[in-house]
Structure 1
Amino acid sequence: MSTALFLYNPAAGRFPLSEKRLKALLRTLYDYGVRVETAITQPSQETSLNLENKDLLIVYGGDGTLHGAIPEAVKWQVPVALLPAGTTNVLARELGIPRDPERALSLVPQRKLLKIHLGQAILGGKRRYFHLMAGIGFDGDVISRTGQRMKKALGMVAYWLVAHVSLLKYPMTPFELSLEGEVHQGTFAVIGNASRYGGELHLTPKASVQEKCLDVCLFTSQQRWRYLLYLWGVLSGRHLRYPDVLYRKVQHLKVSSDCPVPIQLDGELIGQSPMEFASSSEGLLMVVP
């Protein structure tokens, strides 16, 4: 039999993992010939895991739960089987993983693997991986205002509601991005490692988790009304045509500002500017269809 660690966030998404469902999933894994140990985590926490002598890490949760498990999975080079159970499940959408945990579990016996690229945020010499995106400015404010209880109750709707509040209250603080010799100012930037930003929103549509670079989409206007146009552009797939939207592919970038601006990684608030970002030489092995 192969061995696996089953990592789960009991409060992930709107439908927490019940003891009955957990037992059913573990029983299915046993039928697949997988001997399992379990561990509990919380979203966004970098989780200390002992993956020595493990053939597989199974993550039941959302993008935040996976985010916390990445350092150990990379360290031990153990493949990850994702059972999507979060609010938006962006990586599952990106990789075509079924968003039903039981159907996603059926991929385990096939063990088809894909190594995906990772980005990293660098602050004070400490590096932190991200698999989807980093957000600077406006969306960092949205994340900071969206509580876990609200996300649990409303799902994606919570972000849309809070975005209206941020549009009225966020000061649209300008920051400076240094992009490998170019310097630009903006009020909102997405550093994409994947094409999807949340749900089916594609802020960095040219990005791919298989490409070893980071895609930067910078929105430069400080005018609030302009953000309504940005939203329409994103929804219609035309935002890259706007003259005040900049798009670049880079290996490294820096953000700085006179006043601190909030920064999020994979949908979790991690700090404020200044900060650096870089393409990582490490990758994450994922079980895919």
Structure 2
Amino acid sequence: MKKIIIVANPTAGHHSQSRIARFTRHLAQAGLPASVAHTHYPGHATILARDAAESGLYSHIVAAGGDGTIAEVSAGMVGTSAILGILPLGSANVLAHELRIPFNEIRNAALIRAGHFTTIWPGYLHTQAGPQLFVQMASIGFDAHIVHTTSTRLKARIGRAAYAVSTLSSLLRYGLTEFTVLIDTVPHRATTVIVSKGSLYAGKYALTRHSAHKDKKFSVILFETSGKLALMKTVLSLFLGRIGRQKGVRTLTAATVQVPSPAAIPIQSDGDRKGFSPACLDISPSPLRVAVTPAG
């Protein structure tokens, strides 16, 4: 019999505890006993997932939370035979939208029961804090500054709208810094770089035409804009789904991305603050199995 463990972030989303309870109940009705382990501090989800994966007792380890929780759980089980389940509870839930994970607890439990999965290749962000796995995207520059300055209390109150508030504030206050980005060792200049495995941004907004989740490569979006007005137009084009046609924005593919700048440029990955440059990003040497609805 399959055994399930749910690694839950108790601070993620409104009504998260009632949704986890319903999800657990539906799993039990499907003949899948599930236990719940709550996280208590940053990085705890990785420890819980690693212990569960190494025990060999669980077919699925479910991340109940937002993209940051999913990344932490993934870091503990990447390269193992355990399958990552996702119960989306965060403010953006980008990976869930990307992989078309059901938000409905009944459909999500049925997905776990069916046992279907896809294999994806996450990325690693290397900074002075050490290597950190990410599953959807990382960024350096203006986009990361928004994450750094978004109030966690406000995000808990109004969800994704908190990022809109922070974006407006950042457009006025952030000082653009041009830096060198080495894309597969080839130098480029930019004021912001987004390194993405998926095709979506901040929920359902289109960032690229194609997802790179199943490939050992990244999509790299370079913002070459240097003025506040140009940056404002670029940000607007992103939320209007026109980023690919915006002047001053280039999209490339790469297996490695380096930002050697010592100028303390902000970094984020999967919606969490990750310090400042310098940084290097590369593909995980091991894949990750993720429970998904089969295509077709």
* CA contact 1:252–1:279 (8 Å) conserved in 2: yes
Structure 2 Cα separation of the partners of residues 178 and 24 of structure 1: 47
Which of 17, 30, 40 matches 2:38? 40
Deviation at 1:239, TM superposition (A): 2.7
Deviation at 1:208, TM superposition (A): 2.5
Which of 278, 283, 289 matches 1:279? 283
Which of 211, 215, 232 matches 2:215? 211
2:205 is equivalent to residue 201 of structure 1: yes
Q: Provide the residue aligned with 2:228 in structure 1.
A: 224
Q: Provide the residue aligned with 1:263 in structure 2.
A: 267
Q: Provide the residue aligned with 1:248 in structure 2.
A: 252
Deviation at 1:125, TM superposition (A): 8.6
Unaligned runs of 5+ in 1: none
Q: Provide the residue aligned with 1:156 in structure 2.
A: 160
Structure 1 Cα separation of the partners of residues 3 and 126 of structure 2: 34
List per-residue Cα deviations over 1:132-167 (Å, max 9, x = no partner).
000111011111111221111111111011101101
Q: Provide the residue aligned with 1:136 in structure 2.
A: 140
Structure 2 Cα separation of the partners of residues 24 and 225 of structure 1: 47
**Distance change >3 Å, CA 125–CA 163, structure 1 → 2:** closer
When structure 1 is superposed on structure 2, of 52-61 and 39-48 the one drifting more is 39-48
| 2:189 aligned counterpart, secondary structure | strand
**Distance change >3 Å, CA 265–CA 220, structure 1 → 2:** same
Q: Provide the residue aligned with 1:117 in structure 2.
A: 121
Q: Which amino acid aligns with 1:138?
A: F
Q: Provide the residue aligned with 1:76 in structure 2.
A: 80
* CA contact 2:127–2:277 (8 Å) conserved in 1: no
Q: Which amino acid aligns with 2:15?
A: F
When structure 1 is superposed on structure 2, of 81-90 and 118-127 the one drifting more is 118-127
2:2 is equivalent to residue 2 of structure 1: yes
Structure 2 Cα separation of the partners of residues 24 and 199 of structure 1: 24
Structure 2 Cα separation of the partners of residues 246 and 203 of structure 1: 11
Unaligned runs of 5+ in 2: none
* CA contact 2:74–2:84 (8 Å) conserved in 1: no
| 1:48 aligned counterpart, secondary structure | helix
Structure 2 Cα separation of the partners of residues 181 and 56 of structure 1: 38
Deviation at 1:10, TM superposition (A): 1.6
When structure 1 is superposed on structure 2, of 81-90 and 8-17 the one drifting more is 8-17
Structure 1 Cα separation of the partners of residues 95 and 247 of structure 2: 30
Q: CA RMSD in A?
A: 1.9
Q: Identity percentage over the alignment?
A: 29
List per-residue Cα deviations over 1:27-84 (Å, max 9, x = no partner).
3222222222221125853520221122111221111111111121215331011111
Q: Provide the residue aligned with 1:238 in structure 2.
A: 242
Aligned residue pairs, count? 287
When structure 1 is superposed on structure 2, of 93-102 and 233-242 the one drifting more is 233-242
Superposition TM-score, scaled by structure 2 size: 0.90
**Distance change >3 Å, CA 28–CA 242, structure 1 → 2:** closer
* CA contact 2:139–2:195 (8 Å) conserved in 1: yes
Structural mapping, 1:162-173, within 5 Å:
162-173=166-177
* CA contact 1:8–1:59 (8 Å) conserved in 2: yes
| 2:188 aligned counterpart, secondary structure | strand
